[in-house]
Amino acid sequence: MNEKKTMLSGIQPSGDLHLGNYLGPMRHWPGMIETYDCFFFMADLHTITVRQDPAQLRKRTLTQIAQYIASGLDPEKCTLFVQSHVPAHAQLGWVLNCYTMFGELSRMTQFKDKASKHSENINAGLFTYPVLMAADILIYQPDYVPVGEDQRQHVEICRDIAERFNGIYGDVLRVPEPYIAKVGARIMSLNAPETKMSKSLPEGCVFLMDKPEDIMRKFKRAVTDSDTERCVRYAPGEKPGVSNLVQIYAAATGKSFEEIESEFAGQGYGKFKPAVGEAVVETLRPIREETERLLADKAYLESVYRAGAEKAGCVAEKTLRKVYKKLGFLAR
């Protein structure tokens, strides 16, 4: 029997998970754990490049673990852990800093973007963030890393770092392939459909833990389009607002764009927007309810992330020992 290939993915607990996270990558994760040996982690070390409220960070990290499980990730079939609980991430991160060129990091578009948004706190961690991300990946020697377009540059620099290290020391780090998963719908903001749904625009963002009445309110206020046609039609170039709602409804119900256009023919936006809201309410209801149940059982969640850290730590330490030996560090 062939060994499963390894896959790794992490999300920062810097804000609450939302509909874009779920209908994008998360909904496909439960299927992936049947095919791959998957590591999913809460990337809490990455969050502190921006100042965090400590109590909120702890709360969001625990909630994110619960939401992962509620979304279908079985802790018995994959490894769920918190990044800071596995010290080898930071240890390999320092080593790889010494094999990453300043010019490479200065060209990273996310650094420029974040630096412009946090001009009062342009710290070294913000600059070297991609190196820690490379360490997150390479420490588990994965075959694949799921990526969207916004993360492709990070996987490219990760591969460059690994190849540079291997060029000096031999075949030490597996060079992962980017995995362009069925990432699902690219969900845009409800009140600014030209931008991705984001926690930074809360009124246009539907969070996984939103109450049904809040979800309905957001959809009823969703931006549609100022055209005179006012028909439900998927045409992103002409009708970005309505097209976003069509895509959300399709993802929530499994209906095709053609079926949706037929269902709402002649009904206008007044009927369509509440229908999308109701479909999303029912899609997220079981996740919200199961998350709430899990959060009431802190002992279980602690057992999950402790076991996850132990399993992840064993794999990570093996890679770190191999790297340290190649560097000439004295064995402990």
- Catalytic residue numbers? 114, 196, 199
Q: Can you tell me the distance from the alpha carbon of 219 to that of 199, in angstroms, rounded to the nearest whole number?
A: 16
Q: Can you tell me the distance from the alpha carbon of 245 to that of 227, in angstroms, rounded to the nearest whole number?
A: 16
End-to-end Cα distance, the chain = 36
Burial of 102 (0-12, 13-18, 19+ CB in 10 A): exposed
Percent composition of the chain: helix, strand, coil (DSSP 3-state, to 5): 55, 10, 35
| Sheet with 37-42, edge to edge strand ranges | 79-82, 37-42, 6-11, 144-146, 177-179
- For the chain, the residue count is 332
Q: What is the dihedral of CA 256, 260, 261, 263, to 10 degrees?
A: 140
